[in-house]
Amino acid sequence: AQSVTQLDSHVSVSEGTPVLLRCNYSSSYSPSLFWYVQHPNKGLQLLLKYTSAATLVKGINGFEAEFKKSETSFHLTKPSAHMSDAAEYFCVVRLEYGNKLVFGAGTILRVKS
């Protein structure tokens, strides 16, 4: 069955430094993968998606993720953190059949000034 594992429940970075949020997936086929962001007391917003096109996917707000099949990873990165990036981030995989998504447990990103 398809699943995702977010390797860190909390990540803390200083403003202006790089961000790395790690996600490993499990899938028996070429998956559709997503990253969503949730700011405090807000809904979930799609950051980016991978659907078997380019392995390096660019999203909104300067975020990008690289699909690595050999490592079964889909890590989210950003070169320089901004205070407004402080939020919870979810790695998500689509189930093989139908439109159901499976969400990771989430990683809370803290950005220090």
Partner 1 sequence: DAGVIQSPRHEVTEMGQEVTLRCKPISGHDYLFWYRQTMMRGLELLIYFNNNVPIDDSGMPEDRFSAKMPNASFSTLKIQPSEPRDSAVYFCASSLSGAGTYEQYFGPGTRLTVT
**What number of CA atoms fall less than 13 Å from residue 88's CA on the CB side?**
13
Q: Please identify which residue in 5, 15, 44, 64 interacts with partner 1, judged by CB under 8 A.
A: 44
Least distance (Å) between residue 58 CB and partner 1: 15
In the block, residue with structure tokens 């979930």: 44
Binding pattern to partner 1, positions 49-68, x when CB under 8 A? x-x-----------------
Rounded distance between C-alpha atoms, residue 33 and residue 25, angstroms: 9
List 69, 105, 110, 112, residue binding partner 1 (CB under 8 A): 105
Give burial (CB, 10 Å; 0-12/13-18/19+) of 65: buried
| Interface residues toward partner 1, by CB under 8 A | 32, 34, 36, 41-46, 49, 51, 90, 94, 98-101, 103, 105-106
